């Protein structure tokens, strides 16, 4: 698991996936944001 401010390297696990969100989830998923110098980095959506 990654903590706030931690530097990561390619291939390192960032988190865990789950299908539990208080009973409202329909599939497994992972939510994450990326920041650089305090600014959010837009993530590319493949769809």
Confidence at residue 6, expressed as pLDDT on a 0 to 100 scale: 85
Confidence at residue 34, expressed as pLDDT on a 0 to 100 scale: 78
Could you tell me the residue ranges of all domains in the chain? Answer: 1-47
Confidence at residue 21, expressed as pLDDT on a 0 to 100 scale: 62
State how beta strands 35-36 and 39-40 pair: antiparallel
33 Cβ contact list (under 8 Å, min separation 6): 40, 43
Confidence at residue 33, expressed as pLDDT on a 0 to 100 scale: 77
Confidence at residue 40, expressed as pLDDT on a 0 to 100 scale: 85
Residue 37 buriedness (CB in 10 A; 0-12 / 13-18 / 19+): exposed
**pLDDT tens, position by position, 1-47:** 778 788 888 888 887 777 766 667 677 777 777 778 888 888 775 55
Say if pTM beats, i.e. exceeds, 0.75.
no
């Amino acid at each position: 698991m990654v903590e706030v401010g931690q530097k990561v390297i390619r291939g390192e696990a960032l988190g865990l996936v789950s299908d539990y969100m208080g009973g409202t989830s329909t599939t497994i998923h992972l939510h994450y944001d990326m920041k650089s110098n305090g600014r959010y980095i837009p993530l590319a959506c493949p769809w």
